[in-house]
Amino acid sequence: MGSLSPTRTMRFWLWGPRSLGVALGVFMTIGFALQLWGGPFQRRLPGVGLQLRQPWTLSQRPSPPSCPPRQRLVFLKTHKSGSSSVLNLLHRYGDRHGLRFALPARYQFGYPKPFQASRVKNYHPQDEGTPFPFHILCHHMRFNLKEVLRVMPSDSFFFSIVRDPATLAHSAFSYYKSTSSAFRKAPSLAAFLANPRAFYRLGARGDHYARNLLWFDFGLPFPPDMKTARRNPHLFRDSNTLQQHVPPAGVNPPAHTLEPNAFFHPVPTVANGHRQASSPDSLDQWSSSLIQWGLAWLDSVFDLVLVAEYFDESLVLLADALCWGLDDVVGFMHNAQAGGQRALGALREGRVTEEEQQLAARARAWNNLDWALYVHFNRSLWTRIEQYGQSRLESAVAELRARREALAKHCLLGGEALDPKYITDHRFRPFQFGSAKVLGYILRSGLSPDDQEECERLVTPELQYKDKLDAKQFPPTVSLPVQASRLLSP
Ligand SMILES: *[C@@H]1O[C@H](CO)[C@@H](O)[C@H](O)[C@H]1NC(C)=O
């Protein structure tokens, strides 16, 4: 991933210099406001810290951070890659600091259609010179930069998360078993991956869940043979847009050391358009330059991409990049399926059977675009880790884990995630979907009011939290006093 300045330059270059002034103005206003209200903004975890035996030292850094915390954020919430846990920390941070979220009417922004600004509740086209009304955009969408920039300033912090397609496939298969017709027809993931083309049809219901889901969520265009006319983004529709998306000359896609075949497996071409390549070789070339281009483009747009397999390392880098405290990024796993973590741990530690290894290889080959994406962002993450300092990172990660453990002991009944059958309080029961159980949390009783509030934030599942933020931002109109309702009609 490039340094920050080319990223920003690129975004301005793409979407016009006009936004530069606006963005700068907004940024300065926020910085100023932060200095004014620095006191309340710095309030962290009231009560909890006092009751812990080991004081949490990192949040009481000797000198205050020299950078203002970033509070304009765009998080692309990818599917089945640990993004719900990131959502929880964004919800908490925004809630605690009174930030405004760009919210969908329900829980997603018209997914799987590309994001449209008009899907944001209370969205109004932006007047020149007025500050953008929202701080955080983070709910499920298929990424669409042009429309996102109608809602969020271009100097927002853009980030996302990716996961190894080998483990993502397990999670997607059990979660979307009945949603994706390809998965529904397959008796097991192994059977599906042994011969995906026996089950998978382009354009069938939920086909995007069954192949290259990350690539799809990032809104990138697909090679000709993987196109679904219905859902392909409009990037290549006309030459103007194409030019806008070609990386500038200075952006050299990093060379990949992966064997080229891993990127693209030649498959019988579908005769579906004028852009169709004639031979497998030129198709290969077309696809691999498309991949290179896609990755370079993402590098120019996203400031940071977290990696689910190195979640805690990613969180430390996130806190650092946002100039947040470690406390702000500590949280519990959300939307985890029962049994999911075991598989992940085993794969990471190399404790896998030959059969599982074969499954992983097949999942990565079938999801070749996602694999390219994953390898690329894994590499970027580790470059950043080196820049941050390996040992400095290790101690921050250890601190983060200790803090999480302390919070779990303090807040949670049993200290860990539980089967949803035990969770009777509807405020904390996670939405159940797919064929595996989605785990959740129960709070210990007898917490002090302040701790109760913070612990509730930590365990509130994403849908309930969205509803809570929604109610806070859009109080029910029936209870409006007369004066306020007059304000609403100009
Ligand atoms: C991710 O990067 C780490 C560190 O370089 C490496 O050990 C690991 O194998 C990488 N994972 C993949 C799937 O490339």
Nearest CA to ligand 1 atom 10: 378
Greatest alpha-carbon pair distance for the chain in Å reads 71
Looking from the CA of residue 310, the nearest atom of ligand 1 is 1
> Is the beta carbon of 378 within 6 A of some atom in ligand 1?
yes
Find the helix packing angle between 368-388 and 280-301, rounded to 10°.
40
Average pLDDT, integer, range 125-136 = 90
Q: Is 276 in the pocket of ligand 1 (CB under 6 A)?
A: no
318 within ligand 1 shell (Cβ under 6 A): no
What are the domain boundaries of the chain?
6-486
Q: Is residue 297 over pLDDT 80?
A: yes
pLDDT for position 227: 66
| Whether the predicted pLDDT of 254 surpasses 70 | no
What is the arithmetic mean of pLDDT over 58-71? 66
Strands, sheet with 73-76, edge to edge from the N-terminal-most edge strand: 136-137, 73-76, 157-162, 304-307
* E runs forming strands in 67-153: 73-76, 136-137
The more confident residue out of 213 and 263 is 213
Q: What is the mean pLDDT of residues 382-411?
A: 96
Q: How many residues does the chain have?
A: 490
Of 448, 455, 414, nearest in space to 51 by CA: 448
Reported for 465-469, long-range contacts at CB under 8 A and 24+ positions apart, including other chains, are 465/87, 465/88, 465/91, 465/95, 466/91, 466/103, 466/107, 466/139, 468/95, 469/91, 469/94, 469/95, 469/101, 469/103
SS3 443: strand
Token duo for residue 428: 């904390």
* Ligand 1 centroid distance, CA of 140 (Å): 27
Extract the tokens encoding 450.
């302040």
Higher local confidence (pLDDT), 95 or 63: 95
Residue 378 CA, closest ligand 1 atom number? 1
Report CA torsion sign: 23, 109, 173, 296: negative
- Kindly give the distance from the C-alpha atom of residue 381 to the centroid of ligand 1, in angstroms, as a whole number: 10
Q: Does residue 243 or residue 332 have the better pLDDT?
A: 332
Please tell me the predicted confidence (pLDDT) of residue 24. 35
Q: Whose CA is nearest to atom 14 of ligand 1?
A: 375
State if residue 9 touches ligand 1 by the CB under 6 angstroms criterion.
no
Region of residue 389 (phi > 0: left; psi between -120 and 50: alpha; otherwise: beta): left
Task: Say what the pTM is.
Answer: 0.76
For ligand 1, pick from 167, 168, 347, 378 the residue to mutate: most ligand atoms within 8 Å of CB.
378
- Secondary structure (3-state) at 162: strand
341 Cα: distance to centroid of ligand 1 (angstroms): 19
Distance 252 CA to ligand 1 centre (A): 22
Give me 479's structure tokens.
Answer: 């209870």
Residue whose CA is at the smallest distance from ligand 1 atom 1: 378
Closest to 30 measured CA to CA, from 91, 90, 98, 121: 98
Q: How confident is the model at residue 339 (pLDDT cuts 50, 70, 90)?
A: confident
* Pocket perturbation via mutation, ligand 1, pick of 258, 376, 382, 387 by most ligand atoms within 8 A of CB: 382
Percent of the chain with pLDDT over 90: 55
pLDDT for the residue numbered 425:
87
Average pLDDT, the chain: 78
More confident residue, 20 or 383: 383
Give per-residue pLDDT as tens, 318-330: 999 999 999 999 9
Predicted pLDDT of residue 316 = 98
Quick one: pLDDT at residue 181? 92
Does residue 270 carry a pLDDT above 60? no
3-state secondary structure of 73: strand
User: Does the structure show a pLDDT above 80 at 175?
Assistant: yes
Looking at 147-151, 451-455, 481-485, which range is the least confident one?
Answer: 481-485
Taking 80 as the threshold, does the pLDDT of residue 332 lie above it?
yes
Query: Quick one: tokens of 206?
Result: 């939920």
- Minimum CA distance residue for ligand 1 atom 4: 382
Q: What is the mean pLDDT of residues 410-438?
A: 83
Averaged pLDDT for residues 351-379: 94
Ligand 1, atom 8, residue with closest C-alpha: 378
Cα(338) to ligand 1 centroid in Å equals 26
Q: Is 455 in the pocket of ligand 1 (CB under 6 A)?
A: no
Distance 362 CA to ligand 1 centre (A): 18
Q: Is 375 in the pocket of ligand 1 (CB under 6 A)?
A: yes
What's the 348 CA to ligand 1 centre distance in angstroms?
10
Percentage above 70 pLDDT, the chain: 71
CB 382 less than 6 A from any atom of ligand 1: yes
Closest C-alpha to ligand 1, atom 13:
375
DSSP codes of every residue in 353-390? -HHHHHHHHHHHHHTHHHHHHHHHHHHHHHHHHHHH-H
Local structure of 140: helix, strand or coil: strand
* Atom of ligand 1 minimally distant from the CA of 375: 14
Q: Judge if the beta carbon of residue 262 lies within 6 A of ligand 1.
A: no
